[in-house]
Amino acid sequence: MKLKRDKYLLEDEFKRLLYAARTRPHQNAKRDLAMLAVGGLCGLRAIEIVGIRHGDLDRLDEKVLRVRTAKRRKVQYDDVAAPPNVVAVVKQYVRSLPASQRNPWDRLFPLTTRQAGRAFKIYARIAGLNARYSIHSLRHFRGIVAYQSEKDINFARESLRHASLASTQVYVHTVDMLKKGAALDVDADLTMG
């Protein structure tokens, strides 16, 4: 099985992507940085990223993000672990919003999935990344990191909230193909400059 390098965002590329978002002077830079961090470090799908509401952040201090998922055609909620650097960047973004935009029912990232994908593409281009990467590459990044850090396919499966272990098996193969001996270190600097 050949590794499809146009899908799997690696650690150095993810850091370059975040750097591009942190350093680009833009009115939505804090939003975009938070969106990229949530996508890559929490392993969310694009629809889950844009579906987060301010009310879903009520357990953020406990490092938990509540995420709406569509399982078996009905809306359910999953609790997703949020690393400390994600918690910090999301809080920084929320503090930058006017009070009128912090209604519990308002979406945290008021974008469509297509707009979120376009924002990802802009930062990917600035970071000099493969043009074939998509916003879903952030989820693949999380899958690689989850498997690489624990060498446990069940941990990666739970981290990505896959229903089937077969869906997660691709990350085992990807990590093996990358032949990295050391765990990926995702201690990315998310502070705005």
Burial 30-42 (b: 16+ CB within 10 A, else e): bbbbbbbbbbbbb
The pLDDT, as a whole number, for residue 191 is 63
pLDDT for the residue numbered 165: 84
Write down the pLDDT at residue 184: 46
> 32, 139 in Cβ contact below 8 A?
no
Tokens representing 181 are 């001996």
Residues 3-16 pLDDT 10s: 555 688 889 999 99
| pLDDT at position 1 | 44
Question: Both ends of the chain: CA-CA distance in Å?
Answer: 42
pLDDT value, residue 189: 65
Mean pLDDT of the chain: 86
- What Å distances lie between residue 143 and 89, 160, 169, CA to CA? 21, 7, 10
Residues near 80 by beta carbon (within 8 Å), at least 6 away in sequence: 42, 43, 44, 64, 65, 66, 67, 161
Question: Residues 82-117: pLDDT tens digits?
Answer: 999 999 999 999 999 999 999 999 999 999 999 999
Nearest to 57 by CA among 35, 90, 31, 33: 90
Give the model's confidence band at 166: pLDDT under 50 very low, under 70 low, under 90 confident, else very high. Answer: confident
| Predicted TM-score of the model (pTM) | 0.85
Q: What is the DSSP letter of 97?
A: S
Contact 126, 24 (CB under 8 A): yes
Q: What is the mean pLDDT of residues 104-132?
A: 95
